[in-house]
Amino acid sequence: MGSRSHSALPPNWQVRVSQKYDREYYFNTVTRESRWDPPTLSPQLGAKHILAKHRGSRRPSSWREENITRSESEAHDIITGYLNDIEQCDNAEDKDKMFGDIAEKFSDCSSAKRGGDLGRFERGAMQKPFEDAVLALKPGEISKPIKTDSGVHIILRTH
């Protein structure tokens, strides 16, 4: 099956022709995803986060704790404490380092092993309250506590 590239496509995407349907589709050569609709060229976002889950979280367990029993209010207080500690830092570099250190030790997300770094992601990839918070920040800024179905977060926008 032949393929051709379009310069307007994001990296790793190709236009191919379906033999079965005799129509073009889009194929990602890295993820192996295929789709009829073209992939977006929307700019990717990037963020680190620290997550405190609570018993009402959609999955109240983590790498740190098999059965999380804290309340949402307690999770909010924990995250607020981390934010207060980070805000005591004198400069952006120290804030970034402290954010990563706290995430690595205390975040209830598996991204903890990467200092809370979620890498780059496109719009629509995260829960809406999380994405809205990332979009409201400039790179280097840290959010107030944000509630999602996963728990309570603070977010540091990286891209």
Q: Per the residue annotation, which of 34, 110, 153, 159 is the catalytic one?
A: 153
Does residue 44 carry a catalytic annotation? no
Q: Per the residue annotation, which of 57, 109, 111, 143 is the catalytic one?
A: 109
Does residue 49 carry a catalytic annotation? yes
Q: Per the residue annotation, which of 14, 76, 89, 127 is the catalytic one?
A: 127
Does residue 89 carry a catalytic annotation? no
Please count the other Cβ atoms lying within 10 Å of the Cβ belonging to residue 38: 15
Q: Per the residue annotation, which of 49, 57, 62, 143 is the catalytic one?
A: 49
Nearest to 115 by CA among 102, 130, 100, 125: 100
Does residue 127 carry a catalytic annotation? yes
Nearest to 106 by CA among 63, 156, 142: 63
Does residue 109 carry a catalytic annotation? yes
CA distance 79 to 56: 16
Phi then psi for residue 93, to 5 deg, are -65, -45
Contact 49, 154 (CB under 8 A): yes
Q: Active-site residue numbers?
A: 49, 109, 127, 150, 153
